[in-house]
Amino acid sequence: MGNNLDSVNQSTNLHKRNEVQFLCFRLVENGDIYAINVFKVKEIIKYTNTVTRTTHDDNALLEGIITVRDKIYPIVDLKKWFAYDSEIPNVEIKNSAIKGDNFQILICDFSQTTLAIKISKAERILTKKWADIHQVSSYSPNKDTAQKIINHTKYFDGELVKVVNVEKMLIDVFPNIEDTQIDEIDNLQKIVSVKDILLAEDSPVAMKMMKKILDKLGVRFKAFENGQLLLDYINNKTTNVDNIGLIITDLEMPIASGFEVIKQIKNNKEFSHIPITVNSSMSGKSNKDMAISLNADDFISKSHPKEVERVISKFIKEN
C-alpha cells in the first residue's frame, strides 16, 4: 500500500471520477465496520513483537511504540479510543482494549504524523462515489464521542460503514498538536484584503481550527461543510464572483470531494481565475503533486497556521 507511483496514479484517477476507496476493518469479531481512506494506510501487518510501553497508565490512549523494519511508530488501540471521552476527565478505557494476540496493525500517515493503529481484522477495500458518502452531523454542538465518526456509507452487503474522523483522533492522542497550533496562531499577523475566502471542510475539529486561524488573520471568509455546498454558493447567480479571492478546500468530503471542487472551478471560464489551495491530512509530496496535477494552485498540510498565512499572503494580500 504506500505512496508509490502506481498508488498516486490510482488515487488521482479515483478523484477525477469523484470516487474514494476505503480500507474497511472491525474492532471486534463480527462487530461494526469502520473505515479509513486507503491512501492513508501505508501497510497492514500482523505484529507479534513486544510493544514498548511509554507509560504505566493503562488508561492512556498512546499505548507505547513498536519497531517495524527499524522504524519506530507510536501505537494506539482504536477500540480504546472509541471508549475515550475528552469531556470526562480520567475516564476508564483500559477494559475496552482489543483482547488477545489475534489482531492487526495499520501503519497510517496523517498530516505528517505516522501512527500505528491496532484493529481486530482488516476486511475488504470499498470503492464508493463521494455522492454515496453521507455526513454524520453538522457543526451543531454534540458529544465528544459523537464526533469520532465523520461520515458513513454502505458495505457490499448493505451493512453500515463508519468512517473514522482522523483529525479528532490525532487531537485526542497527541493534544500537543492543538497546543502547537494555538501557539502559532498567536504569532500570526493581520492580512489586509477586501476579498472573500471560501472554505470547504467536513471535519468539525479541522473547521474549528481553520476558523480560529482565519479570524486571527482578520480576513473575510465563508465556510461550507462539504464541497457541494461551496459549489452551490459559487454557482448561485446572486454571488459576486469578483469578491472571491481564494478557495481553501479539503480533499475528502461527502457529496463532492475537493478534487471535484477543483475540477468544476478550473473548468469554468467564469471561475477558473480563482486560486485554489488544498488543505489536506493526506500529507506527502505525492499527494501534493496529485493536487497540483488536477490544477490546484497550492497545497498545505491540514490546518497549519503558518502555511494558511503563507497562501493567503500569496494570493489575496493587498499591496
pLDDT tens, 136-180? 864 444 455 568 999 999 999 999 999 999 888 988 988 888 888
Q: What is the pLDDT of residue 211?
A: 96
Rounded to the nearest angstrom, the gap between the alpha carbon of residue 38 and the centroid of all alpha carbons in its chain is: 12
Q: What is the pLDDT of residue 144?
A: 57
Cβ atoms of 173 and 148 closer than 8 Å = no
Q: What is the pLDDT of residue 23?
A: 96
Q: What is the pLDDT of residue 240?
A: 94
Say yes or no to pLDDT of 111 above 80. no
Average pLDDT over residues 180-206: 92
Q: What is the pLDDT of residue 55?
A: 80
Give the Cα separation of 298 and 312 in Å (integer). Answer: 11
Average pLDDT over residues 185-196: 93
Pick from 166, 179, 163: which is nearest to 126 by CA? 163
Query: Could you tell me the CA-to-CA distances from 80 to 29, 49, 90, 214, 271 in Å, in that order?
Result: 16, 20, 13, 34, 46
Average pLDDT over residues 25-46: 92
Q: What is the pLDDT of residue 161?
A: 97
Say yes or no to pLDDT of 9 above 70. no
Least confident of 121-125, 213-217, 292-296: 292-296
Rounded to the nearest angstrom, the gap between the alpha carbon of residue 75 and the centroid of all alpha carbons in its chain is: 19
Cβ atoms of 261 and 231 closer than 8 Å = yes
User: In the sheet that 134-135 helps form, which strands lie side by side, from edge to edge?
Assistant: 121-129, 19-26, 33-37, 160-164, 149-154, 134-135
Pick from 43, 65, 44: which is nearest to 54 by CA? 65
Give the Cα separation of 177 and 179 in Å (integer). Answer: 5
Give the Cα separation of 88 and 74 in Å (integer). Answer: 24
Cβ atoms of 151 and 202 closer than 8 Å = yes
Say yes or no to pLDDT of 72 above 50. yes
Q: Convert the pLDDT of each residue in 306-316 to its tens digit.
A: 999 999 999 99
Phi-psi region of 260 (alpha: psi -120 to 50; beta: other; left: phi over 0): alpha
Q: What is the pLDDT of residue 142?
A: 45
Average pLDDT over residues 223-233: 96
DSSP string, 149-215: EEEEEE-TTS-EEEEE-HHHHHHHH-HHHHHHHHHHHHT------SSEEEEE---HHHHHHHHHHHH
Domains and CATH numbers, the chain: 5-173 (2.40.50.180), 176-316 (3.40.50.2300)
pTM, two decimal places? 0.86
Cβ atoms of 72 and 84 closer than 8 Å = no
Q: What is the pLDDT of residue 81?
A: 94
Cite the DSSP H helix spans in the chain: 5-16, 78-83, 166-173, 175-186, 204-217, 227-235, 258-266, 285-293, 305-316
Q: What is the pLDDT of residue 139?
A: 43
Give the Cα separation of 190 and 184 in Å (integer). Answer: 13
Average pLDDT over residues 67-74: 91
User: Could you tell me the pLDDT band of residue 231, with boundaries at 50, 70 and 90?
Assistant: very high
What are 92's three cell numbers? 476508564
